[in-house]
């Protein structure tokens, strides 16, 4: 199974939980979206891969700062901040 590993505190908790499951035999590989997540995964022994090796992600794990009730519309402060910085 190939997992997309997002960034931020939610993804960090997920990487820690994955490391514990991997220690018990879970076989997965993660594609990190940030250097911070990649470093944490490497430190905890979570195998990493890339889109060059796997063109399909089975599940992606990430967090959202805001979700509109009853929809899948979400926002993330870091993404919003990047959009603001690069738009002007």
What pLDDT, in 10s, does the model give residues 30-74?
Answer: 999 999 999 999 999 999 999 899 989 998 888 766 666 776 565
21/44 Cα distance (integer angstroms): 11
* Whether the Cβ atoms of residue 3 and residue 29 lie closer than 8 Å to each other: yes
Q: Which domain holds residue 41?
A: 2-63
CB 60, CB 1: distance < 8 Å? no
- What band does 5 get if pLDDT is binned at 50, 70 and 90? very high
Domain count, the chain: 1
Residues 6+ apart with CB under 8 A from 10: 61, 62, 63
CATH classification at residue 26? 3.40.50.1360
pTM higher than 0.75: no
């Amino acid at each position: 199974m190939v997992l997309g590993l997002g960034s931020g505190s939610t993804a960090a908790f997920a990487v820690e939980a994955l490391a514990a499951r991997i220690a018990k035999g879970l076989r997965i590989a993660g594609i990190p979206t940030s250097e911070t997540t990649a470093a944490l995964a490497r430190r905890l022994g979570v195998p990493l891969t890339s889109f060059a090796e796997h063109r399909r992600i089975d599940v992606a794990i990430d967090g959202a700062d805001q979700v509109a009730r009853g929809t899948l519309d979400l926002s993330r402060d870091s993404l919003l901040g990047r959009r603001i910085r690069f738009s002007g």
